[in-house]
Every structure is written in structure tokens, then in C-alpha cells.
Structure 1
């Protein structure tokens, strides 16, 4: 078969049904081949940034590698922020990018450039196809590399003339990719002994738990130990049930805060967490002196990478945690007592936060905590929250009580403009679940073009734009640095952003929230949406 047809055949065999892209001239051979491929859907985006974010959301929801097609050097540059996010969040995807016809590359053609070099910083591996007969093997390697721990994006550059070469191309069979063996690590016994001897154990649940679908295994370990459980800073998903009494919430992304939270404990189980991803610099390590550490991770490069540990378990996270449970044996009385104390403390903390949030309910502009609470309590039972709201997002995390894996989606990569596209991809993967995207007004502006794709496919996504008219997180940081006064370049008005006009531009219905009760009702109705709805939520800079 011809090279472009061989490419499509490989996609089919790898389980791809959707191609996310924004095409140019170098993609014309692919588009021509797609004309006869009724089983493959081309999902068009108006900008490469949202396109890569769509693939990110789609891959996470389907738990399969997504496929993206970008146009040449400029397209890869535009999509680079999405690749960086996917790499940090370990989202598997294969990205192909066109290249100019090699027969005139020495003439510096328009849009030509070193495409692989441009994209290399944002992917696990970047490679270029030199001959048509190499295309099938390179693509097989790319899909295998995308899922091999640590998972992530892989870039394949394909010159236009390669897809148009004459002659038949042979497609090799797909080989299974051995991600992990099913045997636990050899140090499980030592790890269990260290944990069992703990008097004040603590667990940090990382995103490796959610990626491995090992939430149930971690719950068993936590209950067997009666251990406090924190989620890693700025976590990407539900790694521990939000309603579980041992859930202490999220650690803040600062070494001093993490160290203070861990200081009362004697043994730490670092589960699927490669590190604490600090945001602002604070001196010292995030772990206190004298804390014994057991680390479990799929990637051997992450074991002991950021600070010394006592025991490292490499391999399938769920398999290793099940082995730890078996080695721990029955729950000791002191663990049961710790669990009971934690349950009461959790009930008291949740009730106090609930009272505080409800007391702040009122008319727009809304108190940020009240807005977050109205969203969290209004969510339909099977909703997926896609969050890129920065300041309001932190408050949302404190009031969300989600238990179902996959019901919360974020990117620890923190490259702005991800949220709208990720919500589109999440909805494309499963239209049966309502998707509620909680977006900061500043971050939404980086990926606004993704709204058009939502409208084109009539996706039932509720886009909530938390509009405070400023880059609030930067102002807060300036205040912390004791350099207050003039906030240069941190306001989005005057004039302000007209979000209802933005909705109209891209073909969406738009509304503006008047009070906290109205926001709660809109969120509760997300399951009944027949298409996308953009809602502006005016919020104050600070709480009331």
C-alpha cells in the first residue's frame, strides 16, 4: 500500500479512531487518504495549542494513546505548550508533524525548519522518517514509546514527499508492549516491615496511583495502617477517594509547607509520586530529617530522585501495593484507633469549611470559596471536572469530594490554555458523562479557539469562566514577597473581557451568573445539556 495508506492502517491497528489536528500543505497527502477512511474521524481545531490539549484529555479518558497531526515547524511551535503539559502529566500520545519536501529544503522554503529540534524539549522522543519504507517501523516504535513508563508524548516528523513516494510499503504486525511484569518488587517485605513499625505513618498519593488505577489498593494500605493521606501538590486526578476519612487534602507546592505537614510523622509512603513539584522557591528539602521513606513508582528514574529514601519498589504500582497489603497482615488495634480519630477530625473539618463557604454565598461578584463550593455541591454524580482555574481552582480542590477515578482532570504541567481543549477531548471520549470545565479568565484566553470545536461537535460541556478581571495569583505572590503597590501588567481591564461575546463568536450559548444559587443550579443541570454552554462567573479578588 502507499505510505499515507500504510500510516492509516497503523493507526487502526493501534486503536486510533480520532485524529486531532490543524492541517497545512504538508498534510495534504494524509487528508487525501482520509477521504476514503470512514472509520477515522478528523477532529479539527483552530489552533495547535487547543488541539494538543484535546488529545491530552481524550487519552486520559480513554486510557489509550491519542494521535495528533500538526503542520510543520510553526504548528509544532504552537503546540509545544500542550506537549510540555502532556510530558509532565505523563499522557501518552503520538504526534506527527509535516515537513517540507526534502528536495528543496536547502532552499530554505517557507515554514521549513528543524521540526524535530523544535519539538524535542516537549516530548519523550523526537524522530524523523527518512524513507517511506521506514515509516511503519518508526510509527510502531512511537506508539510503544508513548506508553512505556514514564508514558508521554512522542513526536514523529514526516516530510511531505515521504507520504507521496511510489512503491508499496509493508505494515508490520503490532507487537504487545510489556509495560510491567506482574510480580512485585523484591523489597516488598522490607517495605511492609518499615510501614508496620510506624507509630505515626503518612501517605502521599501521587498521580501514578490514578494512572495505574490503583486507588483501591492504596485505600487498603491506608486503612491497614490507619495512615493520614495527603494528595501530591497540584494533583492531576483522583488518587484517593475524596470522601474517605483519612484524606487530608492537597499539600501546597512549597517545600517549607510540605516539610511542616510531614514533620509529625515517622514513616512516609510515597505512592506514585515522583516529587512534590514546588512552585515558588523555599529553602531546604520537602522532607524533614529523620523521616523514613518507602517509595513506590513505575519509573525507576523517579526512585530517590529528589531526596534519599529507605526502600524503593519499582514496577506496577497496583501489584506492589497489593503485595504490601498482604505482607502487612491484619489491622493492628492502634491503626484502628488512628482511623477512628481521623474520621472524626475529617467530619469536623468538612463541616467547618461547609459553614464558611455557605456563609459567603451572595450576589455576583461571588466570593471565590462560595463559587467553588456552589460548583462542587452542584455536580451531577457522574460528572467529570476539568480544572484550570489557578486561584479559584485551589479553593475548589478543598471542597471537592470526588471518589470515582477519572472524575477530576488537571495538568501539573501548568502551561496555560490547556483547560478548554482538555474538556473537549474528555467529552469526545465519553459523551455519556457531563463535563464541567472550571477555567480562570486568564488561562481561558490562551486556548479560546477550542470552543469552536466544542460547538462544531455539539459537545455537552459546561464551560465556567471564573472572571476576576486580573492575574490574581501573581498579585497574591507579589503581596507575599512584600513588594505591594503598583501591579504592572496584571489587570485584564479596562476594558474587561466580554465572555458572552466570545461565546457568540464561536457558536456557543452564553450566560452570566447572578448569584451563588444560580451557579449551583447551572452546574446541577450539566447532565441535561444538549450542547456546549459558556457561563461567565464574576468573582471577587478576595473572599468577602
Structure 2
């Protein structure tokens, strides 16, 4: 689909051929027409409506680097995230006299990529990252995977050897650098000349935003940024917009509505696409009309208000509930991104299955579908809701789901009561204390592995508040660690008026701690809370699942992080950031208050909270040890 989109944008195929190719991969005629219209420069549409389209601007006698800077300014891109290197000097030099374009220095490309990801999520704008050769691209690749999995639009650029020097195996040369992230990018390209820079950037932004969305990757020979260009066109942003709200065809909408109404126990399952497309209000209304439960994918942020009486949490944890569902609507790309394949299908084979996503290759990939629709989850949910309302239905009896959620809530509250005074601190206590003090409309980034469900269970996202006034949870479902701190910085840059928190495991914190430097330099007032259990708990769980010698002996390989015991507040202090360790549950309230006070003063703060471990092997203190000094 991406290749066909590029051919259409490049005028290599006409609209009719493009639509035919989309229909061949399962896109409806209506959807294909919407995508074609969204990728077209709307001169004809503007002419029909009597409005003159915005005209291009031109730049004369500028270097390629200056052209790139002018393009970004013209397109209202406020930040370039990166780590400067030698190949990019022509572009970096162009930033010296251009105050409208801010360079955000990061001390690791992992942080630059995640920061841009966070900024795009919060601001709704496609961001740009500037990397140094194969080294920078390789370091950034992990978080490019996160962008790709979450469909976040980010344009990534990398410098490489001068054109005339390429092929000599020079310093940091990579002959096929532009192909390096091809499995995790919507489009990759090696820029051919300085004269093509503005048009190639335009294409990269459009293809990054084109359904289903994700990063694009460009490489520039060093001389392209240094070469003088006599004249270049910058096509305006207004003529380069992509509409991602691709509609489903009417017959599919009616059939989805029929199946939902006919079901006794329908489930609305929110997955990948719901990171980029906010559909909680539509899902809430649909669930109330048809008496449906609402659940989330295992790797998802909490994109549905967890106070709602139809919220069932993570689908599949309760296998008994899963086996009672007779109609399952997957709203999003990947049905069940889990570590181990379930011995029985998570969706019963006799259940009616509906799957909607802009990612055509995911429809029906893991489970048979009765209605498979390549379309926007937002546009489809709105259309289904409209169809349901047009039938003048009385809300169906939802007793099955409200009884379930009340029982679930009771179990969770009883658990939190039992754990209230634990030391080390229980995760439920920590999350409830945060719930009490964090702002009602805060943006909360989570990079928690086994603790992530505690946010779903104990940190309220209020369904009675409108979307703009309630809390919002950001997370990545990629599984690539080191995303959270940098993403929180980008989120705060994208929404500077919001209170922003980062809740991260100690393992994930170690992968992304370099981002603290940028948080300190740029006075980014975020609260960073480390859920410190002193181990890679997910790895212990995996070794237990294997049921081998590690599980038998309690000697878990590569799990223990307490020898040496890392002092994270001291680490933060080395970056000029205040912080503290908390080990007593009664100290939590005041520590969180001190964190908020520091944020109010315009600075980040780190809370290192020692939390409990749970499940089999939680008491193990084994760690792999030998002394190299003793071998000398």
C-alpha cells in the first residue's frame, strides 16, 4: 500500500490505477477513494469550490542545508531532535541564524527518536530527527521500531559520506544506509541531489502521515547540504495534507451494527490504531447502546477511561470471560501482541469476529474474520454509532458486563487494602498515592512491563469528564525499552500547558537514562517515578514459564539488578536534577508532593520508589557473579 501511495504521489500511476491497486489488497471502493483524495494535491477541488489554492514559495541561492531549514520553518516544524555529527554540518550551520527552528540536543540517538515520537503524539504534528551516519541510525533503530509499531509519524534523516567519496569504504560508510530500517519504515530513500531536497522532504512527511502512519527515513550525502541551489520550490503544507479518516463502505457498517445488536455478550477490543486515533467517546456510546464490554490489548496504553462500568481491562487475562464472548470487534491492527501463543484461541471459533484497521496486512492475520474492513477505526466507529442510533434502539441489558466489572473492582480494592502497608512498597499503594495527587488532566507516560496493569486498575481516568479534561495515558506497545523518559520530554514539549509524568520500571530507566541530560538542559518539568523492584521481573517470569533449572533452583540468569544497587537519585543529581529514594510507604505522599513542587518550579524530579516483587521466585537474591580481579 505504501509503494502504491508513493507511485500515485509521484504521478507514476493515475487515480484510477491507484484505486484499483488498493482494491486488490482489500480496501473498499469508498476507502480507496478517500485515500486517493487525501494524497492528491487539491488544486482541482479548490478550483471547484471557487477557492484559490495556497501557492508555493521559492528560495534562491541557498545551500541544501539552508533549503531544508527553510522548508521546516515554512511547514511549521518547531524542533529538530538529534545528536550532531560531521556529515550534517551543512544543515547544522543553517540553523545558526534561524531562530524559528530549534535544535534539541540529545546525548543518545535512542533519546532523540523517542523524544520526537512523544512530541508527535502530544502535538499532532509530524516531527523530524537528524542523525549521524550509520552509527546514529543504528542507535536510533530501536525507537524507530516503537514509532512503527505505534504508527507515529516521524521523518528521520541521516547524513552520510560525500557523493564523490562514497564507495571508498571511508569512515562510518554504509553503502546501503537508506535500507537499514526498511522493515520498520513506511518509506526509505537516498536523496539524489541538493535540487531534490524540498520535494523529497515533502514526500517523506506525506508518506509518514499516510495510512496507517509511521516513520520515514532519508539519507543525505554530506555535499547535498553544502551545495548551492539556484532556485527551489516549497509546496505549502496545506496542499500536502493526508486525511487518515478512511471510511468503511455502508454495507459493512450495517453488517457490523447487525452483528453487535444480535450478540448476547459482545466485546469491543481496542488495539494498535487506537494509539493514533482517539475513539474512546464513540466506543463508550456503542458499548452502552449494545451492552458490550470494552477491553484493551496487552501492550496498549490505557486509551479507554477505566472508571467506566463496561471496562474489563486486559482481554485474555480472564480466560473464562474470553470464552463467553460471542461477538468480538477488534478496533486496531494487531490482534493480541503477546509473548507466548495461547493453547486455545482467545476468541472462540464460533464467535462472530469483526476486524477494522488501516493496516491492511493485519486484518484477519491471526484470527478468522466475518467482517474485515480496511478503514479508520475513528471513521468506522462514528459511522457504526450513527447507524445504531438511527435504529432507535433501547439500550440493551448490560448486567453481564456490569456484574463482571463490579466483581473485578471489588477484588482489586480488596487486594490494595491487603497490600497497603507493605514494605517494600506495593505497586497498588504507589499507584493509588499517585492517583490522589496527580492532576485530573495530566498526561501520564508509562514504560512499565509487569506493573502496567496497575495503572489500569488503580489510577483513575474518569469517563465522566470530556476527553480534553481527563487524564491521558501514553505508552508504546513495541516492547523496545528506553522509550519512556525521552517520550515524556517530547510530550511535555508538545503540550507544555499539561502536567506530565513518566512512570517507568528500573530496567527501562537504565535503557533511557541519557534523556535526563536533555530534560535538565531544557528545563523540562516532568515527574519521573521509577518503579524499582531491583530486577528484570519479566525475564524471571519467562524463566518460570519455561519450567527449567532456573525455576527449580531460584537461580534466575540475567535478572537481578541489585548488585550493585543503583542509586537513581544520585544518577539524576549528576545531571543537575533533584530526586530521592522512597522505601517507606508512609513517606510516599510527601515525596510525591515534593516532586510536584519541583515541577511547579520548572524542573524535572526523580522519585526512586522501592517496590515489591511478586509471583514465583520473588524472594530470590541470586545474581550471576564472578570476579575478574581474582583471575588476574
So what's the TM-score if we normalise by structure 1?
A: 0.93
Match of 1:465 among 530, 533, 545: 530
Find the counterpart in structure 1 of residue 430 from structure 2. 371
Aligned to 2:570: 501
- Deviation of 1:5 after TM superposition, in Å, equals 1.5
**Residue matched to 2:336:** 276
Q: Which residue of 2 aligns with 1:540?
A: 612
2:264 maps to 1:199: yes
Q: Summarize deviations over 1:92-122 as a string: whole Å, max 9, x none.
A: 1000101111221222111111321323233
**Residue 79 (structure 2) pairs with residue 15 (structure 1):** no
Contact 1:10-1:171 at 8 Å conserved across structures: no
Specify whether residues 537 and 241 from structure 1 end up closer, same or farther in structure 2 by C-alpha distance, changes over 3 A only: same
Structure 1 segment 43-54 matched on structure 2, within 5 A? 43-54=104-115
Unaligned runs of at least 5 residues, structure 2: 1-61, 619-632
Instruction: Give the distance between the partners of 2:613 and 2:319, measured in 1 at CA.
Output: 29
Residue 219 of structure 2 aligns with which residue?
157
Report how far residue 15 of structure 1 moved: 2.6
SS of residue paired to 1:312: strand
Q: Structure 1 stretch 100-109 or stretch 40-49: which is displaced more?
A: 100-109
Correspondence for 2:133 among 63, 72, 84? 72
**Alpha-carbon spacing, 1:169–1:105, altered in 2? closer, same or farther (3 Å):** same
User: 1:219 aligns to what?
Assistant: 284
Give the secondary-structure state (helix, strand or coil) at the position aligned to 1:534: strand
> For residues 536 and 102 of structure 1, what CA distance do their matches in structure 2 show?
49
Moved more, 178-187 or 112-121: 178-187
Is the 8 Å Cα contact of residues 88 and 225 (structure 2) preserved in structure 1? no
Counterpart CA distance in 2 for 1:59 and 1:370 is: 32
| 2:181 counterpart residue number | 119
> Structure 1 residue 264 and structure 2 residue 324: aligned?
yes
Could you say which residue in structure 1 is the equivalent of 2:583?
514
Determine which of 312, 315, 320 is the counterpart of 2:372.
Answer: 312
Do the aligned partners of 1:232 and 1:273 also contact (CA within 8 Å) in 2? no
Whole-Å separation in 2 of the counterparts to 1:222 and 1:207: 19
Instruction: Give the SS at the match of 2:477.
Output: coil
In 2, are the aligned partners of 1:204 and 1:231 still within 8 Å (CA)? yes
Aligned partner (choices 350, 360, 365) of residue 409 of structure 2:
350
Match of 1:446, SS? helix
Structure 1 range deviating more: 277-286 or 121-130:
277-286
- CA distance in 2 between counterparts of 1:452 and 1:189 reads 53
TM-score normalized with structure 2 length: 0.81
- Call closer, same or farther: CA 1:490–1:180 in 2, change over 3 Å: closer
Q: Distance in 2 between matches of 1:391 and 1:318?
A: 30
SS of 2:412's partner is helix
Note if contact 1:380-1:523 (Cα within 8 Å) is conserved in structure 2: no
**C-alpha separation in 2, matches of 1:298 and 1:456:** 39
Aligned to 1:77, what secondary structure does the other structure show? helix
SS state at 1:127 partner = strand
**SS of corresponding position for 2:208:** helix
Secondary structure of 2:230 counterpart: coil
Which residue matches 2:544?
A: 479
Which residue does the alignment assign to 1:289?
349
Does the CA contact (< 8 Å) of 1:393 and 1:438 recur in 2?
Answer: no
Worse overlay, 363-372 or 227-236: 363-372
- The alpha-carbon deviation at position 377 of structure 1 amounts to 3.7
Asked whether the equivalents of residues 205 and 231 of structure 1 are also in contact (C-alpha less than 8 Å), the reply is: yes
Residue 402 of structure 1: which of 461, 465, 470 is its match?
A: 461
1:325 partner SS: helix
The separation in 1 between residues aligned to 2:324 and 2:439, in whole angstroms, is 37
* SS of equivalent to 1:167: strand
Count, aligned residues: 537
Aligned to 1:96: 157
Aligned equivalents of 1:213 and 1:466: distance in 2? Answer: 28
Could you say if the C-alpha distance between residues 512 and 433 of structure 1 is closer, same or farther in structure 2, counting changes exceeding 3 Å? same
Cα separation, partners in 2 of 1:244 and 1:427, compared to 1, 3 Å: same
Gaps of 5+ in 1: none
**1:29 equivalent in alignment to 2:95:** no
Q: How does 1:53-64 map to 2 (within 5 A)?
A: 53-64=114-125
Residues 384 and 436 in structure 1, CA contact (< 8 A), matched pair in contact too: yes
Distance 1:352 1:168, change over 3 A: same
CA-atom RMSD, angstroms? 2.2
Superposed displacement of residue 287, structure 1: 2.0
Q: CA deviation at 1:237?
A: 4.5
Q: Which structure has the greater CA radius of gyration?
A: 2
Q: Distance in 2 between matches of 1:258 and 1:542?
A: 19
